[in-house]
Chains A and B, each alone.
Chain A
Amino acid sequence: MSSATAPAHDNTFGQDDTYLYHHFDDLHQQHESSSLGMWAFLATEVLFFGGVLGAFAIVQTLHAPAMRAASHHLDVLLGAINTGVLLCSSLAMALAVRAAQLRQDRHTVWLLIATIVLGSAFLGIKAYEWIHDYHEELVPGLNFNQERYPGRQILFWSFYFTLTGIHALHMVIGIVIMAIMAVLVWRRWFTGGGATQIEMLGLYWHFVDIVWVFLYPILYLINK
Chain B
Amino acid sequence: MSQHVFTIKTNLIIFAILMVLLVVTVGVAYLELGVLEIPIALTIAVVKAVLIMLYFMHLRYSSRLTWLFAGSGTLWLLILLAFSLSDFLSRGWISPIVTQEPSLDTASAYFGGLPDPDTGLVLSDPEEAHGDSADGETSSAH
Contacts and interface: CB of A to CB of B under 8 A. Distances in A.
B66 A35 contact: yes
A179 B26 CA distance: 33
B21 to A, nearest CB: 9
A46 to B, nearest CB: 4
B3 A16 contact: yes
Interface centre among A26, A40, A102 (most CB of B within 10 A): A40
Contact of B88 (A40, A62, A65, A76): A62
Interface in A45-64: 45-47, 50-51, 53-54, 57-58, 61-63
Given A13-B2, A14-B5, A54-B80, A90 B69 contact: no
Interface string A54-87: 1001100111011011001000100010011001
A98 B8 contact: yes
A157 B17 CA distance: 31
Interface string B4-40: 1110100110010011001001100110000001100
A151 interface: yes
Contact of B65 (A32, A95, A209): A32
Interface stretch (A118-126, A185-193, A210-218): A210-218
Contact of A47 (B19, B30, B63, B80): B80
Given A42-B73, A90-B56, A98 B30 contact: no
A94 interface: yes
A61 B3 contact: no
B56 A94 contact: yes
B52 to A, nearest CB: 5
Contacts of B109: none
Q: Is the interface of A mostly helix, strand, loop or mixed?
A: helix
Contacts, number: 173
A194 interface: no
Contacts of B56: 90-91, 93-94, 202, 206, 209
B141 interface: no
Nearest to A204: B57
Interface of B: 1-6, 8, 11-12, 15, 18-19, 22, 25-26, 29-30, 37-38, 41-42, 44-45, 48-49, 52-53, 55-58, 62-63, 65-66, 69-70, 72-74, 76-77, 80-81, 84-85, 88-89, 117-125
Q: Which 4 A-B pairs have the closest CB atoms?
A: A43-B73, A46-B73, A28-B1, A14-B2
Given A43-B72, A47-B80, A151-B121, 16 more contacts: A2-B1, A31-B1, A43-B73, A43-B76, A58-B85, A61-B89, A62-B88, A80-B26, A83-B22, A94-B56, A150-B121, A151-B117, A207-B57, A210-B53, A221-B26, A224-B30
22 contacts: A1-B1, A15-B3, A32-B66, A35-B62, A42-B70, A43-B69, A43-B73, A45-B73, A46-B73, A46-B77, A51-B80, A53-B81, A58-B88, A61-B85, A61-B89, A65-B121, A87-B19, A90-B15, A206-B53, A210-B48, A214-B42, A221-B37
